[in-house]
Every structure is written in structure tokens, then in C-alpha cells.
Amino acid sequence: MKKARSKIHQSDQGNDVAHGPQRTCVGCRKSLDQDQLVRYVLSPQGEVVVDYRKKLPGRGVYTCFDLECVETAVKRGQFCRSLRGGEGPSANDLWRVLHDQAYCKALDLIGMARKAGQVVSGTRQVLSELQAGKEFGVLVRAADLSVDIAEKVDKAARRSAVPCFALFSKELLGGLLGKSERGVVALKYGSLAVAIMNELERLNKFAGEFNG
């Protein structure tokens, strides 16, 4: 036998792409940046709980933000096994918690962005700034905008290559910004916009699943 086979190629470029610690999803088994995964721990009562902000103490397990991965992990008893205890949680319950957490975090972050002066809001204002070539990190347009205005906003976003999400109501967006109603909220380019987009992408996975 030749020795050629014993020479296994190490991935030597791995460090260039890794930003934070890598963790393995107990559903699909992929190893990913911890920031992209959801953490779960065992509560003092011995239940599996979502540790969305990754702050709770103790042993943790991770999954992708993906119903399929959560279901696979539940089916294989990965939560109980890896956390050494805990009632087997239902995938749907966990999924609902993940929805609520992503929802709250998105709203929190938009509120933070407003305080940091990173927000431009109002349909007319945002459209005219887009027209003037202003760059934004991400747009949120209310899901209850009228069809023609929604089309106008979507089109302008596409033209400027800004990701645009149809989420929340005009009233909710307005409330976040201390106004009565807001149809469009634009986030200035930056790390807050990136964090907000991450949550909005997560929320998009629930489209049509839950109301409110």
C-alpha cells in the first residue's frame, strides 16, 4: 500500500472565515459560527429553555434557526441527551418561543437604532432619500401598507439594492419611533442594520405560521 492516503489535507484557510467560536447544530450537525445558532439550556426546574441572548449559565446546546433542525434534534432526543436531563420539549413549542424572541429582539434593535440616530422613517422621506442615492442597510415596510405604496417602496428598494422586509403594522412601527404611524423605516448602513436584518430574516421564516 502506498502512503499517499495518510496525508489528509487540513483546511488551513478555516481561520479566515471564522468570526467567533464555532458550535455544532444538534439537528443538521453542521458546525457554524455561534452567532448564527440558537442556544438552549436546562432551566433550574429541569426544562429545556431557549437562551436566545446566549447569557444563561450552564451547559448549552445549539441548533440552526430552522424548524427542520429543531424537529430533528427533538426527534433524536438531542436536547435531553446533550443537556443531561430535561423533559423532551416539543419542536413546535420551541419554534414558537424562537418566533417570539426574534420578534422582541427585532423591535428592541429598531428602538435602539432610533435612539442612536440610525433611523429614517416615513414613506415619503425614505423614498426621496433613496431617489437621491442615499444608501441604507435595510428597509422595513409595514405589512399593512396599501398595495400601490407597497409596490412603490419595493421597487425603490430593489433599484437601490437594499433588502426590504414587509413586517409589522404601521401602528407598531410608529409606536417604536414615538410617532402615530409609520409605513416605512430605513436603517442607516452599519452594524445595527446588520443585526436587525438578521432578526428580520429569521422572522421571515415564520411568515404565515403565526399571526401576531
> DSSP letters of 85-133?
------HHHHHHHHHHHHHHHHHHHHHHHHHTT-EEESHHHHHHHHHTT
61 scored as a contact of Zn ion (CB under 5 A): no
C-beta closer to Zn ion: residue 78 or 123? 78
Amino acid type, 6:
S
Contact between 162 and 137 (Cβ < 8 Å)? yes
- HSE-up of 161 (CA within 13 Å, CB side)? 0
Instruction: Write the CB contacts of 19 (distance below 8 Å, at least 6 apart in sequence).
Output: 33, 35
41 scored as a contact of Zn ion (CB under 5 A): no
CA R_g for the chain: 21
Rule CB under 5 A: choose which of 38, 41, 48, 64 binds Zn ion.
64
32 scored as a contact of Zn ion (CB under 5 A): no
Rule CB under 5 A: choose which of 28, 56, 149, 166 binds Zn ion.
28
Rule CB under 5 A: choose which of 42, 48, 69, 106 binds Zn ion.
69
CA separation for the pair 97, 93 (Å, rounded): 6
The interface region with Zn ion, picked from 57-65, 100-108, 114-122, 135-143 by CB under 5 A, is 57-65
Closest separation in Å from C-beta 181 to Zn ion: 38
C-beta closer to Zn ion: residue 64 or 196? 64
The interface region with Zn ion, picked from 42-50, 68-76, 77-85, 179-187 by CB under 5 A, is 68-76
Rule CB under 5 A: choose which of 23, 25, 62, 91 binds Zn ion.
25
Contact between 118 and 187 (Cβ < 8 Å)? yes
Q: Would you tell me which residues interact with Zn ion (CB under 5 A)?
A: 25, 27-28, 64, 69
